[in-house]
Chain A
Amino acid sequence: GAGVSQSPSNKVTEKGKDVELRCDPISGHTALYWYRQSLGQGLEFLIYFQGNSAPDKSGLPSDRFSAERTGGSVSTLTIQRTQQEDSAVYLCASSLGGLAGQSYEQYFGPGTRLTVT
């Protein structure tokens, strides 16, 4: 079965431009997470989607970052007016769900390496 896929695998953009990163979660997984890994750092939580519930946006670093999840499946992370400090690997993960008292392992995609010049 297909795992989590992300596109593009690499993106180079000029400072000030907007970028969109895409994530296709594992079919049937209702929970979707975005993380980023900056150079020499651990993974940093950005945003969480669970079914039709309002997303948990508590990890987004600024209002230039936003994310959508259409139809409970595919998600796009948008970074507006990119800055050099946005350069990082952006990772998407999905899991079976996040019901209270239950949780499941997160499966990660290969990531999108974003370079802002």
Chain B
Amino acid sequence: DQQVKQNSPSLSVQEGRISILNCDYTNSMFDYFLWYKKYPAEGPTFLISISSIKDKNEDGRFTVFLNKSAKHLSLHIVPSQPGDSAVYFCAASVRSGAGSYQLTFGKGTKLSVIP
């Protein structure tokens, strides 16, 4: 049973336009959400995160939106650049109380930004 779902395996966007990557989760205990970016043959790189007490977090061209009632988050990249082409993983964890804070990942969305 997948607790974090990325329903779009791939996405193509023109350079300069907005990329929107979506993620849904089912576990209401999750209170911290992250996006990782992964290039081939490399480990995932942390991109941006959001706590469940917020509904938006922005860092440069990257903005993450969280809709707790819908158990949905999205990553917006504006403007998209060819170097953004990678696989993007949505991840979630439970950070309240003691625990391992392990990450639960979605299957990833492959973003292709076309020059």
Q: Taking beta carbons and an 8 Å cutoff, which residues of A are in contact with B?
A: 4, 31, 33, 35, 40-45, 48, 50, 56, 59, 91, 93, 95, 98, 100-101, 103, 105-111
Contacts and interface: CB of A to CB of B under 8 A. Distances in A.
B34 A105 contact: yes
Nearest to B4: A42
A42 B102 contact: no
A50 B43 contact: no
B100 interface: yes
Interface string B25-66: 000000010101000011111100100000000000000000
B107 A110 contact: no
Nearest to B45: A108
B32 A103 contact: yes
Contact of A48 (B100, B105, B108): B100
B21 to A, nearest CB: 14
B46 A98 contact: no
A108 B45 CA distance: 7
Q: Which of A33, A42, A45 has most B Cβ within 10 Å?
A: A42
6 contacts: A31-B101, A42-B4, A93-B43, A101-B96, A103-B95, A108-B43
A107 B46 contact: yes
Contact of B102 (A41, A45, A107): A45
Given A42-B107, A50-B100, A106-B103, 4 more contacts: A45-B104, A103-B32, A103-B93, A108-B36
